A = this chain, B = another copy of it.
């Protein structure tokens, strides 16, 4: 406010990239997976990386996130998404200084991505391994608390066994069945649905169903 410096205020700014942790629960592999793309262009051409784009002028973070998802063939027009953290290491991109805003998103289709386990991702381009590591703790903290995130990840109906698998993938440790059942029972908008399906040897899981806000396409 004192000593205004117009030239400083109009200096060229860093680029802003939006990098997306695209998530998906694989019912068969019983794990949360991360959507990875193979970079087609330099730098790091041919190497796996998080889907990311440079933010366009005037673009909202969510729009950029959807473009990034398009890079791995996920084209849902209204994916569940949210903001995580902003990384500012100036050397994280060899093309030049680039801010990275990390977003999470839940994919509804497999697209063209490689889906790798979130807890043991392969080596990634840029500082993406570090981004994944830092954000996994945040995602674990959001599970069962941020219902927008949780509902997207579990889908409209899920078995109690799925909840255990999701918890294990995100936190790295298995959850206690009893405690998790009580957590689920306490979540608003979630009810136990008497129907159950057999999956293997033991007793079938109970099913939980989210209510309200149109599951997909009914609105």
Chain A residues in contact with chain B, CB under 8 A?
Answer: 1-4, 6, 8-16, 37-41, 49, 51, 53-61, 67, 70-73, 83, 85-86, 88-90, 96-97, 99, 101, 112
Q: Which of A4, A72, A96 has the most CB of B within 10 A?
A: A4
Known A1-B40, A40-B4, A72-B2; contact A56-B88, beta-carbon cutoff 8 A = no
* Copies of this protein, total: 2
Known: A55-B14, A86-B83, A88-B61. A37 touches B112 (CB 8 A): no
Given known A2-B112, A4-B41, A73-B2, contact A57–B16 (CB-CB < 8 A): no
A137 to B53, CA, bound (A): 31
New A-B contacts (12) at CB < 8 Å, excluding given A10-B54, A14-B59, A58-B90: A1-B37, A1-B49, A2-B40, A2-B73, A4-B40, A11-B54, A13-B54, A16-B16, A57-B96, A58-B97, A59-B97, A83-B85
Q: In the complex, A16→B57 CA distance in Å? A: 10
List B contacts of A41 (CB < 8 A). Answer: 4, 6, 9
26 residue pairs A–B, Cβ–Cβ below 8 Å: A1-B37, A1-B38, A2-B37, A2-B40, A2-B73, A2-B112, A3-B70, A4-B41, A8-B56, A8-B67, A9-B53, A9-B54, A11-B57, A12-B56, A13-B15, A13-B54, A13-B56, A13-B57, A14-B58, A14-B59, A57-B97, A58-B90, A58-B96, A60-B90, A61-B88, A86-B101
